[in-house]
């Protein structure tokens, strides 16, 4: 299916061209807004001063999330003007409005943190409030695959309370996970763009299957987020001129969770399987993979510091991106390698939900093996260069 052509399959119209246009407008607006946001951040004092564990050497403007949110709003506004995509806002479909309102709340909390460095409890309260607003507007999980029941598991249809609780937990988890990933220039914005693109592809496949206007919200949410991240990335890639700050990383986490959650309502409880759930959780799979090594390092560090009587919250450089820098990769190459890992995992998870999972599993395995080899090449070279 050509991306620039509105496709028709089995009588179902896939407005691919419209979604692509929305994404491009989001990218353009985010790109143009970032310069003004940078000046505003310096004026109000939202500046990141280098710390011992940071990789930047000079004060850097934060609040880049304002530009990302501006791009998202522009894409949403355009979608509302397009005859086909306007359906995402009509017929009781209030999910998109709920996501926009929740995004405004999380960006406000993040912007205040970028300027005044709020305490963790206040930020958690803001994150929970934003997730709760989405739930009030009907954004909640509907069906989930569990590995028990019939020979290959069964579908668990969630009640209102169960769906609401799962939505809040997943949203808060995703928000903080993206916040944790934001450690190198362009890292969080690139991972957000890759995850959003993969989620958009998965949502389009659901739209092709269901053909219902209720499948528009997840695709629209993912398309606007992917475009906004793309527009912000040139300003944020190494050497960065502005950081997205918590206003950006928390917004990306919230919208990725929203896209996955709204897409869950398009699954058929009678046919939902592990591949569908994996596709829905694509953003979380990608971020979890990026966080695996730093989380393992964190657990080991806690054990080590507890044993030695040290402060558990001592700053260090043990994240995955720091490990890649230690191996010998440059700043840019470390980010690009993480992009490679994220792309293989994200699109592999989506492909597994759409195509033959056995073939996809082999393909993803080969891709991950190649990514691993490329990642450790500097260390292998350094060992070979050591004289006997």
**Rounded percentage of the chain residues whose pLDDT exceeds 90:** 40
For the beta carbon of residue 52, count every other beta carbon within 10 angstroms.
Answer: 8
At 6 the pLDDT is: 40
At 310 the pLDDT is: 62
Confidence of residue 332 (pLDDT cuts 50, 70, 90): confident
Residues 6+ apart with CB under 8 A from 336: none
At which residue do the structure tokens 């989001």 appear? 26
Q: Quick: pLDDT tens for 108-121.
A: 999 999 999 999 89
- Tell me: pLDDT of 323 over 70: no
Confidence of residue 302 (pLDDT cuts 50, 70, 90): low
- Tell me: pLDDT of 388 over 80: no
- Tell me: pLDDT of 384 over 70: no
- Tell me: pLDDT of 64 over 70: yes
Using CA atoms, how far apart are residues 202 and 323, in angstroms rounded to an integer? 32
* Residue 79 or residue 325, greater confidence: 79
Confidence of residue 7 (pLDDT cuts 50, 70, 90): very low
Within 13 Å, how many C-alpha atoms sit on residue 211's CB side?
Answer: 7
- Tell me: pLDDT of 210 over 70: yes
Q: Quick: pLDDT tens for 211-247.
A: 767 788 999 999 999 999 999 999 999 888 999 999 9
The answer to which of 37-51, 136-150, 267-281 has the lowest mean pLDDT is 267-281
At 109 the pLDDT is: 97
On whether the CB atoms of residues 232 and 30 are closer than 8 A, the answer is: yes
User: What's the distance, CA 52 to chain centroid?
Assistant: 27
Using CA atoms, how far apart are residues 189 and 226, in angstroms rounded to an integer? 9
């Amino acid at each position: 299916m050509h991306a620039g052509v509105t496709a028709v399959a089995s009588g179902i119209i896939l407005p691919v061209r419209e979604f692509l246009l929305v994404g491009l407008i989001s990218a353009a607006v985010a790109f143009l807004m970032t310069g003004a946001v940078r000046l505003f951040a310096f004026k109000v004092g939202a500046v990141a001063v280098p710390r011992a564990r940071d990789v930047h050497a000079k004060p850097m403007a934060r609040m880049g999330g304002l530009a990302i949110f501006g791009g998202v709003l522009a894409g949403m506004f355009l979608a509302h003007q397009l005859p086909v995509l306007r359906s995402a806002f009509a017929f009781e479909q209030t999910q998109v409005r709920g996501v926009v309102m929740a995004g405004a709340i999380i960006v406000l909390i993040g912007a205040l943190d970028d300027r005044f460095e709020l305490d963790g409890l206040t930020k958690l309260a803001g994150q929970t409030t934003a997730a709760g607003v989405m739930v009030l507007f009907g954004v909640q999980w509907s069906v989930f695959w569990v590995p028990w029941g019939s020979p290959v598991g069964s579908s668990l249809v969630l009640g209102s309370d169960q769906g609401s609780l799962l939505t809040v937990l997943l949203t808060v988890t995703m928000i903080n996970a993206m916040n944790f990933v934001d450690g190198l220039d362009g890292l969080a914005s690139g991972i957000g763009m890759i995850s959003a693109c993969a989620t958009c592809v998965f949502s389009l496949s659901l739209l092709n299957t269901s053909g219902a206007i209720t499948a528009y919200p997840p695709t629209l949410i993912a398309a606007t987020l992917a475009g906004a991240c793309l527009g912000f990335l040139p300003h944020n890639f190494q050497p960065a001129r502005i950081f997205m700050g918590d206003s950006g990383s928390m917004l990306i986490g919230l919208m990725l969770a929203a896209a996955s959650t709204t897409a869950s309502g398009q699954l058929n409880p009678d046919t939902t399987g592990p591949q569908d759930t994996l596709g829905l959780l694509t953003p979380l799979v990608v971020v979890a993979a990026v966080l695996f090594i730093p989380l393992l390092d964190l657990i080991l560090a806690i054990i080590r510091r507890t044993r030695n009587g040290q402060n558990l919250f001592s700053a260090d450089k043990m994240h995955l991106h720091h490990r890649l820098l230690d191996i010998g990769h440059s700043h840019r190459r470390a980010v690009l390698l993480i992009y490679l890992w994220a792309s293989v995992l994200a699109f592999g998870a989506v492909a597994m939900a759409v195509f033959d999972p056995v073939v996809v599993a082999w393909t993803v395995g080969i891709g991950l093996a190649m990514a691993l080899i490329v990642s450790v090449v500097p260390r292998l070279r350094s060992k070979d260069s050591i004289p006997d």
